[in-house]
Amino acid sequence: MPGFPTTTIERKNGVIGVLTLDALPPNNTFNHELLLGFTKALFDLGEKCDAVLVTSANPKFFSNGLDGKFLLEADLKTREETVTAMIRAYGKMISFGKPWIVEIAGHAMAGGAVISCAADYRFMLQGSGRIGFSELAVGLPLPLNYIHGIHRIVQPSAVRLLIEGAAYKPEEALSIGLIDGVAEDAEKLRALVLKRFDAILRMEKEAFLPTRKIYRGDLLRMIERDEEEDVRMAMQLVRSPAFERALGTIAGKNRGQS
């Protein structure tokens, strides 16, 4: 059954919770229930651990976000609820109070990139896949709050290409700041992730966590300011013929990538 199994890793200066994405095949995508389940699992693990690692059970896909087939078959109310939940999930993930890192093996497109960019750090397996915001490429506008988050991470000159749907190989993503490191194999990828966690956990929590909160504060304020407008625009889109066409494209791409 799809879900989010968790475990822990004991380190010298703290406990890392490991949350594994094991969502809908073939592309590790989310329906409404799984999207809500992911954010709940993240926050539940954060209550017990000093930091969280998000990884994937699928070696080919970190995640490709919302499931096109699910949305294509869903009624209007479910579509509205699911798209709204994805928009609000971004702000919720940015507000997460513990440091977290994503470990990307395979593709992280659309919602998978959204989840990745909400984390503190992103590390990717060499040659494993692509990362990017493919919404515009299939006919969907990118929510303003996602664009705010992109600006926080990447080089300014790269923002335009990202919001236009560019998909980056790991080395290309590293060169623009979209990810923070690339590893040759899965073992070295995990070592890279743990090295970053160890550096974070060595810091005094009383100093690091408030500083981290301040660093994310401006982005959270922008999200709070613009989230309702993002939702309003999304509800207009969901009722439009363009949304139906986009879902057909997404569902077709999902089948083609299996």
Euclidean distance between CA atoms 25 and 34, whole angstroms: 12
Which pLDDT score is estimated for 253?
59
Domain boundaries, the chain: 6-201
The average confidence (pLDDT) of the chain is 94
pLDDT at 255 exceeding the cut of 60: no
Which pLDDT score is estimated for 245?
85
pTM, rounded to two decimals: 0.94
CATH architecture of 6-201: Alpha-Beta Complex (3.90)
